[in-house]
Amino acid sequence: MRLDTICPVETPEGTDLQAELAGLVPRALAYSVDFLLRMAILMALSIVLMVAGRVGDGLLLIAFFLLEWGYPVFFEVLRNGQTIGKKAFAIKVVNEDLTPVRFGSSFIRNLLRTADIFPFLYVSGSISMIVTKKFQRLGDLAAKTIVVYDERPEHNTALLDSVEPVTPSYPMTEDQQTAFVNFALNRGQLSDARQHEIAAIIQPKMPMRVTDPVEYVRGVGKWLLGAK
């Protein structure tokens, strides 16, 4: 069987989304960039805090903890699933249904890096990526996340060029995020009546100032795709 790096996702509306999965090499290179960046920051801090004695040692340990565990979660949640290293190689973390990764999923996948490292040098994580269809390490399997190339089809995103991104007015489940993104990307395949029918379903949860529910849904969908 041929190795297929395309991850298709069937949407509730019956349309298909797809993304190209990132394999072991680009992910390893991205991790190397992030690792070197973290080490450079720690080295700079160690020089600055050297004069502080034991207090400086304590602060350095705190900085190490934050960089090791907080750095990837911060960037994945607030920067479109991309750490600095991932952005350099045009890859990003998303949920298995291709919706943006959130705090819970990012926290789980990064917490389980300790299992991926075992017994050394990410041997367990590398084996997991090689044997799974979606190149998922153990943390990805637990968090139900994947790493894909950050590429968006021009014919889809072009439909959103005139749409202003809208921050959701309430916390959204992953299913809701998927529905909003699919609606935003596939408007051209839906009739005007169908668009308003879908938008009307969630209109009671929209802010009172919203006058066009269709544009609101598309705006939230664009925001979920990374436009801020």
Local confidence pLDDT in tens for the 228 residues of the chain? 344 577 877 665 555 667 889 999 999 999 999 999 999 999 999 999 888 888 888 999 999 999 999 999 999 999 999 999 999 999 999 999 888 999 999 999 999 999 999 888 899 999 999 999 999 999 999 999 999 998 654 445 556 667 888 888 778 887 778 778 877 776 555 667 777 777 777 777 777 677 788 888 888 888 888 776
Q: Give the count of beta carbons closer than 10 Å to the beta carbon of residue 25.
A: 9
Give pLDDT, residue 3. 46
* Token pair recorded at residue 152: 């968006």
**Quick check: 21 and 146 in contact, CB under 8 A?**
yes
The model scores a pTM over 0.75: no
Give pLDDT, residue 165. 87
Give pLDDT, residue 40. 96
* Token pair recorded at residue 189: 């395949």
Q: Which own/partner contact pairs does 180-183 have at CB distance under 8 Å and 24+ positions apart? A: 180/217, 180/220, 180/221, 180/224, 181/17, 181/98, 181/99, 181/221, 181/224, 181/225, 182/11, 182/12, 182/13, 182/15, 182/17, 182/221, 183/13, 183/217, 183/218, 183/221
**CA dist., res. 202 & res. 206, Å (int):** 7
Give pLDDT, residue 2. 41
Q: Where are the domains of the chain?
A: 6-149, 154-224
